[in-house]
Amino acid sequence: MIDPAHTLSITRQAQVVEISRGSVYYKPKPVNENDLVLMRKIDELHLEHPFMGARMLRDQLNRDGVSVGRKHVGTLMKRMGVEALYRKPGTSKKHPGHKIYPYLLRGKSIDQSNQVWALDTTYIPMAKGFVYLTAVVDWASRKVLASKLSITLEACHAVDVLKEAFVHHGIPEIVNTDQGSQFTAQEFIEVVHEKGCKISMDGRGAWRDNVFVERLWRSVKYERVYLHAYDTVNEARRSIMQYFDWYNRSRPHSGLEKRTPDEAYNIMLPPIEKAA
């Protein structure tokens, strides 16, 4: 993607492909090898059993012969951006200065493209480190509208991926996220409000509220990420973006009457957008 020998400068090439200059030079920081193995196991267990918290994950890892304590599992989960997906009373404490918006999709009929977009971020293991993947998904069609790989969980990456979706796919009625700090940050909220979209946020830890994105993460990890050991961010980015291109164009879904996300997205577009 980036050619150091090209006549264009590295900075200009990064601007053209819409990635940060820093990510071009990023080398995954050395992480304790044992922790990397643990994080991979935690990620796999989380996909299979999203209700498991640090205690249950510790117990499962111990049963599998991995000696680790609850506190260390909790530390790694926090680093990964992972939490148990179930409703937990009394845990909706707000990030200082960050407003939490209500969930707007309960009982709502969602049957058109660009009616609801969902955003989420997931952990991506690499050979000697890890990165984060953020994606915008059209709720009705399951189409991945935009995505970005980054080395931090900052709000700027969520803003970038949402702006990319706006440019290429228009404006949705509702933008739905979880309560992650990158989505409750004022920087992100302002971008959503500027376009006149409503903001919906999942109940904290409520997996059913964003189930389609959770299914996407399961697909991309089992069908692509876990089959590779990425050495660089660029390698991971290229592989995952190729997967999303295939996923949109060629992967039929039973819930979409065997249509691909691209086919469903185009069929479900409102009449005005189809005419345009």
Looking at the chain, which runs of residues are DSSP E strands? 116-126, 129-138, 144-150, 174-177, 198-201
| pLDDT of the residue at 88 | 42
> Which residue in this structure is represented by tokens 């680093």?
79
Compute the Cα dihedral for 123, 53, 94, 72 and give only its sign: negative
| pLDDT of the residue at 13 | 60
| pLDDT of the residue at 48 | 84
Of 3.30.450.20, 3.30.420.10, 3.30.70.1400, 3.40.50.261, which CATH number belongs to 116-275? 3.30.420.10
pLDDT along the chain (276 residues), means of 10: 62 60 56 85 87 90 91 90 61 54 90 96 91 96 96 92 97 94 94 96 64 89 93 94 97 92 94 64
**DSSP tag of 4:** T
Contact assessment for residue 254 and residue 260, using Cβ atoms and an 8 Å cutoff = no
Domain ranges of the chain: 10-80, 116-275
| pLDDT of the residue at 92 | 33
